[in-house]
Amino acid sequence: MIKKFLLAVIAALGVLTAIVLFNTFRHSSVQVLTRDNPAPALSDSAVRHFQRAIGFKTISYGESSLFDSTQFLGFRKFLETAYPNMHDQLSREVVAGYSLMYKWEGKNQSLKPIVLMAHQDVVPIEESTKSMWTVDPFAGTVKEQFIWGRGTTDDKINLIAICEAVEKQLETGFRPERTVYLVFGHDEEVGGRGAQSIALLMKQRGIEAEMVLDEGGIITKEKVPGLKKPLALLGTAEKGYLSLELTVEIPGGHSSMPEKETAIDVLTKAIVQLRSHPFEAEFSEPMQNFFDHIGPEMPFLQRMAMANQWLFKPMIVNTYEKSGPGSAMMRTTMVPTIIQAGIKDNVVPTQAKCVVNFRLLPGDLSDEVVARVKEIIGDDRVKIERLEKGAIAEASAVSPVDGYGYKTVDVIIKQTYPDMLTTPFLLIGATDSRHFGEVSKNIIKFSPMIDPIGFHGINERVSLESYQTAIWFYYHLFRSLN
C-alpha cells in the first residue's frame, strides 16, 4: 500500500514538473525587434532652454491664494521666444487661464490625431528642506552630467523635449502625417483642472485621438528584480484616487481626569485596524501584461515562476511586496496622511480627525472601497466621509497592448535606445491623461528618461543623457505618425 502511494506521489510530481517545464519553455519573448538609431549630441541651446525653463517657479499650491500667475505668464513668454517656429506655424489656445493647447496640422486629415501631454507646474519646496538642497532648486544647475532643479523630472523634461523636437522638425520644413495636439496643463499637481478643461473642449469639438501620450513610466536599469537589461515601463493604466476623512467625536475635558476612552483612542484604533488589514494582492490586467512581457527575459527560475503563476503566485507576491512601489502595483493601498486632534497639552480633545488616502487598483471601485473600510473598522463612532477636494477618480481604463498607442511607442523607444526591453505596467500615481478617457482609448503614460532622481524631493535631477534621448524620442515619434 505504501509502495503504491509513493509511486503515485512520484508520478504526480513528474506530471507537475513536466507541466511547469512545458509552460516555462513555451513562455517565449514578445519583444518587438528593431534597429536602434542613437541620439545626436545635445546642442548648447537645448541645454540653455531646459535651464531657463527650470528658472520659472511655476508652482502649484494647495492654497489658490499662493498661486503666482506671473511665473506662468513668464514661462509662456519664454516658450514663445525659445521656439519661434512652433509659435508661428502651430495654432495655440489658452485654456482655463494658463493651460496651453497647440495644434500642428497634419497632411492627412483622414487620420485621427494624436495628443502629446506634459505639465508646466511643479510642486513646492518644503521650507524645512531648503537647506538640504546642494544647489539652488530653481537655477537649472548643470553638474555631474545632470540637470538639477525642481521640475526637471516632473515634468519639464517632457515639455521642453517636445518643444525642442517640434522646433527641429519645423526648421527642416517637416509636417507630420497626422495632426498633433500638444497639451501643457498648468495645475496637474493639484488635480489637473486645466487638462480637464482641454479634454472637455476636445470632446465638445468631436475630436477623437488615435493616441494620447503623457508622463508616467520611465526607463530603468536597476529597479526590476532579476532583470539585467534596461527596461522601459509603458503605463497602460493608472490607479484611482480616493481620500476618506475619519472623524470621531467623544466629549473631552481636563487631561487630569480622562475618561476610559477618548476620541484619539478610538481614531487610533481605527487607523491601526485599517493598516493591519491591507487589501489582497491581485494581478490586474496591466500587472499580468507586465509579467507576460518581462517573464521571458528573466533568468530561468524567475521565468519559471512567471510562466506558472498558478503555482508560484505567493512567491511572486512576496518578492514584489518587499518594496513600496512593487506592493502598490498589486493592491489597492491605504495610508493615513493627515491627523488632527487637540489644541492644548492639558485638554482632552472632543474631536479627532484623520485623512486616509487610497490608490485604487483597476477593478476596485470607490464605493466598494468605502464599504470595505467601514467593515474593517467596525465601529459606528468613526464617521467616514469622502473628501471632495483633490484628484478624485476611479482607476482608468486599460489601454490595449495591441493598440496603435502601445505599438507605436514600443517601436519608437527601441529605435531611440539601444538594447532596450519594453513592458506595459500599472502607473501607481496620477496624471493629467486620466481626464482624456473620452478622447482616446489608447492612452500611454511614459516619460523618456533614465532612472531620474528626486521626484518631488530634495536635489531633484535628471541626466543629460535622458534629456538628449528624450528629444530624439519625440523627434522619431513625429516622423512615425502614419
Give pLDDT tens digits for 310-361: 888 899 899 888 888 889 999 999 999 999 999 999 999 999 999 999 999 9
Residue 460, pLDDT above cutoff 70: yes
Q: Are residues 193 and 266 in the same domain?
A: no
- Grid coordinates given for 316: 511572486
Q: Are residues 244 and 374 in the same domain?
A: yes
What end-to-end distance do the CA atoms of the chain give, in Å? 70
Q: Mean pLDDT throughout 65-82?
A: 96
Amino acid at 293: H
Q: Are residues 217 and 258 in the same domain?
A: no
- Percent of the chain beyond pLDDT 70? 95
Residue 120 lies in a domain: yes
- Final residue belonging to a domain, choices 327, 355, 386: 386
Q: Are residues 218 and 317 in the same domain?
A: no
Q: From CA 277, how far away is CA 356, in angstroms rounded?
A: 14
Q: Are residues 245 and 232 in the same domain?
A: no
Q: Which of 14-18, 53-57, 390-394 has the highest mean pLDDT?
A: 53-57
Give me the CATH number covering residue 227.
Answer: 3.40.630.10
Residue 266, pLDDT above cutoff 70: yes
Residue 111 lies in a domain: yes
Q: Are residues 246 and 224 in the same domain?
A: no
Residue 27 lies in a domain: no
Q: Are residues 341 and 399 in the same domain?
A: no
Active-site residue, selected from the candidate residues 154, 155, 167, 188: 188
155 is catalytic: no
Residue 391, pLDDT above cutoff 60: no
Q: Are residues 219 and 318 in the same domain?
A: no
What is the pLDDT at residue 393?
A: 81
Residue 239, pLDDT above cutoff 90: yes
- Final residue belonging to a domain, choices 386, 417, 433: 386
Residue 430 lies in a domain: yes
Residue 401 lies in a domain: yes
Q: Are residues 282 and 306 in the same domain?
A: yes
pTM comes to 0.91
410 is catalytic: no
Mean pLDDT taken over the chain = 92
Q: Are residues 217 and 284 in the same domain?
A: no
Domain count, the chain: 2
What is the pLDDT at residue 6?
A: 63
Band of residue 222 on the pLDDT scale cut at 50, 70, 90: confident
Q: Are residues 461 and 399 in the same domain?
A: yes
Give me the CATH number covering residue 312.
Answer: 3.30.70.360
Among 8, 32, 21, residue whose Cα is nearest residue 412:
32
What is the pLDDT at residue 4?
A: 65
- Final residue belonging to a domain, choices 386, 419, 452: 386
Q: From CA 33, how far away is CA 382, in angstroms rounded?
A: 56
CA distances from 291 to 55, 104, 219, 417 (A): 41, 37, 17, 22
Amino acid at 363: G
- Give me the domain span that covers residue 446: 44-238+395-479
Within 10 angstroms of residue 313's Cβ, the number of other Cβ atoms is 13
Q: From CA 90, how far away is CA 77, in angstroms rounded?
A: 15
Residue 18 lies in a domain: no
Helix intervals (H) in 36-185 = 44-55, 69-82, 84-89, 157-171
Asked if residue 220 lies in contact with residue 227, where contact means CB atoms within 8 angstroms, the answer is no
Band of residue 16 on the pLDDT scale cut at 50, 70, 90: low
